[in-house]
Structure formats: C-alpha cells, structure tokens
Structure 1
C-alpha cells in the first residue's frame, strides 16, 4: 500500500492553519470509514494522539477541527475492541464527554455523542468516566431535544437525533445497580418517558432500550418507570404496548424487550395477560425476521420465559421450539452468510440455544418438544463450537434437558453427551467451564448412567481442581457437583472423592467467606455421612470427632436458614450410625440445646430437620443397647414436652414427625 499520502495527511494535522487541518481530517475520514485496513494504517501512524490533542489545547479549539476529529474518532471506535482500547489508552473518552455540554456547538455535541456511542458499544469499555464531573447531567439534559434551542426544522431533527444518541449512551452505562441509581438520580426516567412520545422512531427505540436496562433486575426502578407521568394521557406501559404494534420489527423488538424487563422486575404483574398474549407472540413472530432483529429475539424470549412455567408452556404452544430448533440445525458453522446475511450466525445460534434451554428448564412438555425436534446431536456438536457463547449455551440446554431422568437415560446417553461435556471443564472460557460444571451437577447424580463415564475420565480430579478456582461461581458449581457425586453413592465413590479433595480442604470450604459455598460443603458432609456406619466412621476418622462436633456446634449458631438445615441433617445422618456416633452428639449439651430450640423455628423445614435428629437419637433396633438412657437424658432436656407441643403444629409434615418422635419416648 502506498502510504505517502496518508502519512502526509497525518503530518498536516500539525499545521497551524485550521483549513489545512480540516482538509486533512476529511481526507482521513473518507479513507477509514468502513475500511479496517486503513484504520489500522492510521493507528500505526499514531494519528489518535493528534486527534485527542485537538480537544485539549487552545490552538485546536476551532469547532470545525473538533467536529471532524470527533467524527474520525467515532469511525475508529467502530473498528472493534482493539480500536476502542487504543482510544481509551490515549485518553479520548474524557475530552469527548466534555464536548457534550450544551455550552458547545450543537454539531460538535452530536459528533462527540456519536463517537461515545460507538465507544460504549464495546462491552469492555470502561464506563466510569460518564459518572465523573457533570457528564451524566449533560447526557440527561440532552435527552430533551429542546435543550439545544433548535430554531429550524433541520435543527429540531438534529436535536432529536442527539437525544437518541444520549439515550443510547445511557443504555450502555447501566451495567451495575450503582450505575442505575446514579442515572435515575440524575432525572433520566421522566426525560426518557417523554422521549417515548416524541414521534421519531429511532429516538423512541433508544429511550425504550435505556428504560429496559435501567429496570433490569431492579424491581424498585421498574415500579418507578411504570409510575412516571408522561406528557400523553397514556401510562408508560400503555405507550410501550402501543409501540409493540408498530410496523417496524425493530420497534416491536425493543418494546418487547422493555416490557420483558419490566415483567421480570415484577413491576407489571397486572399486565400478565398482555405479556402472554402480546409480548410473547410478538417475540415468536420476530423469529421469522432477518438480521439483527431475529438474532436478538431469541435472547429476549429466553429472558422472558426463564423461571416461569406458564410462559414456557405458552412458548411451546406458540410453535417457538421448532423455529429455534431450525436455527440450531441450519445456521452455518463455516459460512456466516449462509443463513442470515445481515446478522451474526454465531450469536443467533447461541441465543436460540439459550431460548431452548429456557423453554425446557421447568416442563417436561418443553423437553419433549426439544427432543422431538431431533436437535440433540446438534447440541452435542455445539459443545465444540468456535464461539464460547455457543458452547456455554449448548451446556445450558443440556442442563435443562438433563432434569428429565428419561431423557438423561436415553437421548443424552445415546448422543454421547458425557465426553464433550467433560472436555468443557477445561475450556479456555470460565463462563463455559461454569456452565459445564453446573450441567455435570445433574448428570453425576446416582441415577445417571453417565456418572461412571465422568469418573473414568478423571472427573473427580478435575472437579477438585475447579474447587480451587478464583471464580466463586465456578467453585460453587464444582463443590455442588462433588456433593451430587457422593449422593447415595457407594462407599468406594465417597472414598475416591475425599482422597482427591481431602478433609482439610472440605473443612476450609465449610468456613469459606461465600455462604453458598459453605452450604454446599456442608451438604457434601451430609452426603458423606449417609447410609452406612462405615461412611459415618470415615467422616469421624477424616475430621476427628472433636473437630467434627466443633464444626456442628459452630454452624448451629449461624442465622442462615440453609446452613442450619444442612447442619441439622448432618447431625441426623450421624445419629443413624452406631452407638458411638450417637454418643458423640449426646455428649455435647450445646448441640442438644440448639436442636431443641430449632424445633420451634419459624421455618417448617428446619422444624422437620430438628425432629428428625430427635427421632434418630432415640431410635433403636436393639432393645439391649443404651437407647433408654438416651431417651431419659433427652426427656430431662425437655425434648418430650417440646414434641408434645409440636403435635399441634400448623405443618402436617412436622406433626407427623412429632408423632413418631413422641411414640419413641413412650416405649419402655
């Protein structure tokens, strides 16, 4: 490539004549728009620092120079994550944010906002600068097209376009709850709701997108959006329901997305029929569109129906499964343009798999439709896909399907899912590892025929390795999988797990800072000390009696209900062992006191667990042992009176267990 003219253009940026600079900037702009090779060339010529300097020095304050420089910076930002990283490295973001003040030329504001929109399109871009100084205030101000005092029709259109850009930037800066709070505090809700009725579709779409992200997983903000007064007589929800009927598929999609986020935030429960009869069918219909709309629709659909059995059934009835299955089957892995020339086929496949995972997560009806679509071999193949998102989605789909014992025993076994799934435990992506580990939690349960396959391939050792991961979710899933592996397992399996994990490591996990990991570690201990006196004895030997009792006693003092429940079942399992094991519990008055106190706990599951402990402590199959002595001691502790009171418990299961316990106090 002859780079002389490009080198000359970069050199002309140092001219003191603004006309020469503008001419050079326009030359660079015309060369790099849509041309990655030229963008790379100019980056290698260190043009970005020169562009940024125009916003920092007095001599570069000519508005035309800055406008053209902002346009060029925006063009670079559309070149991908590496280009955005270069812009950030050279400090381009703060000067661009300073340009969006209404004190500046409206054309400069628009050019800077467009560049910022491109930068923040990159998911890895740091959003912190937006929340510094008065930049967020300026963005919210720009949401009102009148803030730029437009006089002509052309200026009015430009000001609405600037409002659209501001809304888009805000939508991309809602990654955390704290960011949502700061944006809301700056007055974004009324400004965005006002933009919904501005009459310009692109600005309306941007406002919908921003509102969707502001209420994502945020019930408080969902309610505030719903209660925000609009300039029209309609409520924000009514406006959205009208916009979802727009002829534009993009408007339909973003309206459905915003209503989905409000629904997931439990802010519009009274509109459940609208969600079922309007939003869900719209999303299914959009699966027939082309390009980005079809690519995004499965993602929104998956989010809408996740954790909701009724909506999953409605999705099944709508014919969504066959459409989604068609994407998984026919989207080309080698030729991105084969199926959807205007979209990203990898993303479409990922989103389709996630939607199939959602539709089959709670109902056998959904799982059966997925199996009947004959795509399980394609799901297995997707586990080796080049895209980590597709691999993770394939794992998630397998996880949903594996909740059916019948499917697990037949279709997934026949498809040979175990081996590719196990390989993903070593995937380069932590997200894939995490999802694969969560899937393995299902397939290593005792009933699974794939359990042996996972173990033979070194599954125990790999899971133990992942327990030491710096990622807390991956650690949680790994300990969860080990817990399931030893559930109702043979003693040999338990011994193999603890040989690899060690009791010392399990003890560390029981004291982990993450309460969820503590819970699963205690559940592992519960499963180890289950079924056979030999297994209980191995736990006593591994931890030592005193240390084991100390752990039990300390965990009984916590306020977390799940921890209490798990430790009570640890006691319960130990109490099913030999006389020696029962005596270890009986020798600890504090443990007995806690058990008695938890028999009056507000949670019926904990009351049941506590009574189970008493039942096993008083149970005996040999009338010659010391059961009568234990019964007398427990009576002196006040357990019999406690059980009598529980005969009137509001919970049937508690009453039944109390009846059993009381009968054992009455035996000679």
Structure 2
C-alpha cells in the first residue's frame, strides 16, 4: 500500500486553498467507501479531528469543503461501532446537527443527515444532543420535503431522500418514553403520516419505522397516530393496511411492524380482524424471504402474538411453527437453503426461538406443535450457543414449554434440560442469567422431577448469589425461583434454602426498593410458614416472634400495593393455621386485627378473600377447648362477626363462599 499519497491527502486538508482541500476530501472519500482497511488507516492518521474542524471554524471555509467532509464522516460512521466511537470522541455530533438547519445548503443538510443516521444506528451512541436547542425542531422540519423548496425534479428527489434520513434518525432516537414525548411535542406525527403518502417507498418505510417506535408501548401516542389524518385526509391505519400488500418485502415487513406496535399499544382494537387476517399471515409469509426481512419477521411476529391467546391460536393454524422450527434446526448448516450470507444467522435463530416461545406461552396447542416439530434437543443445544441472544431465547422457549406439566415431566427431562439451564445461572450475560432464573421458576416447582437435580447441582447457592445482584430484574427472578422452590416443599428443603439465604437477607428483600421484589420475598415467607406447625415454628425461630409480627404490622400499615397487602394477609393466614400459640401471637396484636378487619371492605376482591381467610383460620376450632372459644368471642367483640354478616351479599362469589365459612365458625360459640 502506498502510504505516501494517503499521508499527503491528510496534509492537504490543512491547505488554505479550498480547491486543494476538496480534492483531498474526494480522494479520501473514494478510498474509504466500502473499505474497512482504508478507514482504519485514515483514522490512524488522525483525520477525524481535522474533518470536525471544518464545521467548528467556519469562517472562510468553502461550503463544498463542509459537504465533502460530512460525506467522509458519514462513510466512517458506516464502518461500525468502533468508528462511531471515534467520531463521538472527537465531538463531531453537535457540529453535524448544526448542519441540518434550513439556513444551510441542501446538499450539506443531506450529507450531515446521512452521517447522523449512521451514527445513531450504533446502539451505544448518545442521543441526548439531538434534544438540545433547536436540533429536534430542525429534524422535524426536514420531514416535509417541501421545506427545502426544491425546484427541479432532481432537487425534489433529494428533498424526499433528506426527509427519509430525518425519519430514520427519529426512529433511532425514541428509545425512552421521555424521548417519545419530546418528538411528539415537536410535531412529528402529522409530518410522518404525510410522508406515508409521498409515493417514494424508502421514505414511506422510514416514516413507518419512526411511527412504530414512537408508539411502542405507548397507548396515548398510538391513539394519537391513528386519529392523525394525512393532508389528503387519508386514514393512517388504512394506508398501512394498503402498504402491507406492497410488492416490496421490506415495505410489507415495516407496515406489519407498525401495525403490530399500534396493536400492542391498544390503539387499533377495532382492527383486530385485519390483524388476524392480514398482518399475521403477512409475517408468516415473510419467513420465506431472504436476508434481513426474514431475520426480523419472527421478532415482529413474537411481539404481535405475545400475551394474546387468540393470535397465538391463529399462528398455530398457519405454517409458522414448522417454518420457525426449520430455522432453529438448520440455520447453522451452511449447505442448507436456510443459510443466507446477507443475513445474520445467529439473529435469525434467536428471533425464531423467541417466536416459538411466544406461540407456546399460553396454549397447550402451541406447546404440542413445538414438541411435535422435534426441536427440543436443538433448544437444549442453543443454551450453549456462542450468542447470548440465542441462549436467552432458548431459555424463554423452555420457560413457555415448561408451563405444561406433561412436557416438563417427559420431553424436557428426556432432553436433559436441567444441566445446561443450571450453567446459565453463571452466564457472562446478565440478560441470560435473568432469563435462566425466570425459567427455573417453573422447573423447581413441587411437581417438577428436576427440582431435586437442580438442588443437587448447587442451585440454591447460585440463586442466593443472584439475589444480591444490583440488577432489579435478575434479583426479582432469583427470589421468585427460591419462593417456588419452597412451595409445598418438605421441611428439609425449606431449612436448606434458609440456611443459605438466611432470614436476615429475606428481611432485607422484604424492604427492597423494588415493590415486585418485596412481594416475592413476602411470598417466600408465606410459603415457608406452611403447611405444618413445625414450619411455622421454624419461621418464628428464624425471625423471632417480635420481628415477624413487626414485619406484618409494617406491611399492613404502610403498603400501597395490592399484591403486597395480599401476600402479607396470606402470611397471617398461614400462621393462623398453626397451633394455639401461633394464633394467640396474632390475637395479641390489636393493630394487626384492625387492619384485617379494614381490608374486609377493600375494593379488590382478592384482598377481601384473603382477609376473610385470616378470620376463618383464627376462628377455627379443632375441639371445643375453652381457649378456642375465648378467641372466637374476642373476635366477635372486635366487630368481625358484624362485618362478615354485612358481606353476605358481596358481589364476588369467592368472597361470599368464604363469608359463609366464617359465619359457621361464629355460630359454634
């Protein structure tokens, strides 16, 4: 390689002659486009800070120099994450954002927007700069092709292309709800909807993508998009349903994606028939395409049908399972027709597993189809895959399948799922550890034949270690798995768990900053104090009577979470199933009794049921012993009998049934 001419090109950037600078920039541009080696060479020659200087020290800088410099920066940005890191390090983003203002040459605006599009494609790129000052408003303005006042056909095409770039940047800059809000408030919706009717497919695709991300998990914005008409008074949903029949696979995919996001945002419930008959079949057919379209289609399909039993059944009735299963079993075989050098095989396998997990998450029909596709051994193998995304997806698939006791007892056991799943608790990826913990929540239940195997391999120790994780979701899933492990377990299992976890740690988890963690920790306490008096006594010893009652009082008094109230009431309920001493411990706390009585009129019927259950167990008499009768009389004096009499006509059937039981108890004394 002739390094001299490349060195000279970099030196020529310092020339005072604009023509020399432009020639040098064009030389660099022609050398680095599509050539990683040359990009690395010029980065090593420290060319990026020189390029940035052309936008900062603008006095006397020829506009053509800035245009060519922006093009070169964009080419570097398309070279991958390392190059973007270099560009960001040399503070090029803000100067490029300055270039997208309408006061600049349209060619410079387009070049800068192209560079920004490449920069923001990198997931680690900081998006904050775009929300500072007037940059976001400039970007929204560019969504209107007429804003650049094109006169010739060539200029019109260029302005539409700039609008496409602006829409793509927006799609990549709405990761958070706050970013969605700022983009919406800047007026993005009307301009993006108008862009759907521009007639240029790439710009339409970019607008669809931006709208999809702006309404992701955002019901308010989904509804706002749906009611936003185009300038020609066209309905955006009908436009999308029309575009989903486009001849371009990419257009069909992105239209399906946008409709999926609107569907998930509960913004188009009246279009459910179209979702079932148009969007879902389109996504299944796109599994036959090549490259990136086929790679993303399973991901969109998984998101569409997640938590929706009707759509999962519709997916079962299609050819989705067989096609997805083929990806899982054959994608690693380069001789297979499923190997596609233009796509990412690992990503396709990950997305296929996620789609299979979604299809089998709610229905036995879906689980049976997945099992019949004979891919369980491949799911097990995927737990050791090089890609953390594939490993996590394999866990998710296992989690869905393990919801069937029959499949858990037979197919998953026979496939030897326990050992590779257990290893993933120590995975280098927190996401994989989190999903492995979530999967273990099903695996360790009392009906599972793998519970003993997990324990023998040190599962308790691994889960306790993860309970201390700073990651909220991982901590939640770890305590969730532990509370399932002790559910209906032998006393020896409970003792072993608490020997490792310790009651002190459980106390800390009961006061965790995350309410979900608190709720699962209380559920663990509930499961420990059940069903034998010896189990309850062990909890009394572990926490001490005083600390246990203080925890109960604290949660009854200070919780605003229905789930936490319910769990603490069931802790009381389980203690009240114990011996006379355990019942008296609760009876001695007037504050606890007051809260139980108050919760009998709670608006949540589950809480009313739990409160009445506490009363049933407190009034339960194994015999006509005087202490039992005294307890019932004390509760009558406390007003409980009058309360339950007033609940006899409760609107909830379960509450009414429990009330009948309680009244029978009072009638015996």
Superposed pair shares fold, TM > 0.5: yes
* 1:179 alignment counterpart: 179
What is the alpha-carbon distance in structure 2 between the residues aligned to residue 426 and residue 83 of structure 1?
Answer: 32
* 2:628 alignment counterpart: 627
What is the alpha-carbon distance in structure 1 between the residues aligned to residue 136 and residue 437 of structure 2?
Answer: 40
* 2:565 alignment counterpart: 564
By how many angstroms is 1:449 displaced? Answer: 0.7
What is the alpha-carbon distance in structure 1 between the residues aligned to residue 504 and residue 232 of structure 2?
Answer: 65
Aligned residue runs from structure 1 range 485-496, under 5 A? 485-496=485-496
**Secondary structure class of the residue paired with 2:55:** coil
By how many angstroms is 1:5 displaced? Answer: 2.0
* 2:659 alignment counterpart: 658
Matched, 1:589 2:587: no
* 2:509 alignment counterpart: 509
What is the alpha-carbon distance in structure 1 between the residues aligned to residue 441 and residue 235 of structure 2?
Answer: 45
By how many angstroms is 1:3 displaced? Answer: 2.2
**Secondary structure class of the residue paired with 1:620:** coil
What is the alpha-carbon distance in structure 2 between the residues aligned to residue 5 and residue 513 of structure 1?
Answer: 61
Alignment RMSD, CA only? 1.2
**Secondary structure class of the residue paired with 1:423:** helix
Please list the CA deviations of residues 76-114 of structure 1 after superposition, one character each: whole Å capped at 9, or x if unmatched.
111111111111111011111110001000000000000
By how many angstroms is 1:47 displaced? Answer: 1.0
What is the alpha-carbon distance in structure 2 between the residues aligned to residue 257 and residue 31 of structure 1?
Answer: 37
Q: Which runs of 5+ in 2 are unaligned?
A: none
What is the alpha-carbon distance in structure 2 between the residues aligned to residue 444 and residue 647 of structure 1?
Answer: 39
What is the alpha-carbon distance in structure 2 between the residues aligned to residue 60 and residue 42 of structure 1?
Answer: 25
Indicate the larger mover: 20-29 or 320-329. 20-29
Q: Which runs of 5+ in 1 are unaligned?
A: none
What is the alpha-carbon distance in structure 2 between the residues aligned to residue 234 and residue 270 of structure 1?
Answer: 17
By how many angstroms is 1:344 displaced? Answer: 0.7
By how many angstroms is 1:60 displaced? Answer: 6.4
* Contact 1:100 1:139 (8 Å CA) reproduced: yes
What is the alpha-carbon distance in structure 2 between the residues aligned to residue 46 and residue 299 of structure 1?
Answer: 40
* 1:447 alignment counterpart: 447
**Secondary structure class of the residue paired with 2:43:** helix
* 2:111 alignment counterpart: 111
Q: Which runs of 4+ in 1 moved over 6 A?
A: 333-338
* 2:216 alignment counterpart: 216
What is the alpha-carbon distance in structure 1 between the residues aligned to residue 170 and residue 499 of structure 2?
Answer: 52
* Contact 1:259 1:279 (8 Å CA) reproduced: yes
* 2:292 alignment counterpart: 292
Please list the CA deviations of residues 500-535 of structure 1 after superposition, one character each: whole Å capped at 9, or x if unmatched.
111111101111111111100100000000111111
* 1:301 alignment counterpart: 301
Residues 333 and 525 (structure 1), Cα distance of their counterparts in 2 relative to 1, 3 Å cut: farther
By how many angstroms is 1:337 displaced? Answer: 9.8
Aligned residue runs from structure 1 range 170-569, under 5 A? 170-332=170-332, 339-557=339-557, 558-569=559-570
What is the alpha-carbon distance in structure 2 between the residues aligned to residue 6 and residue 59 of structure 1?
Answer: 27
* 2:643 alignment counterpart: 642
* Contact 1:467 1:479 (8 Å CA) reproduced: yes
Residues 490 and 642 (structure 1), Cα distance of their counterparts in 2 relative to 1, 3 Å cut: same
Indicate the larger mover: 157-166 or 226-235. 226-235
What is the alpha-carbon distance in structure 2 between the residues aligned to residue 300 and residue 326 of structure 1?
Answer: 18
**Secondary structure class of the residue paired with 1:556:** helix
Residues 97 and 336 (structure 1), Cα distance of their counterparts in 2 relative to 1, 3 Å cut: farther
* Contact 1:530 1:536 (8 Å CA) reproduced: yes
* Contact 1:337 1:345 (8 Å CA) reproduced: no
What is the alpha-carbon distance in structure 2 between the residues aligned to residue 318 and residue 335 of structure 1?
Answer: 27
**Secondary structure class of the residue paired with 1:231:** coil
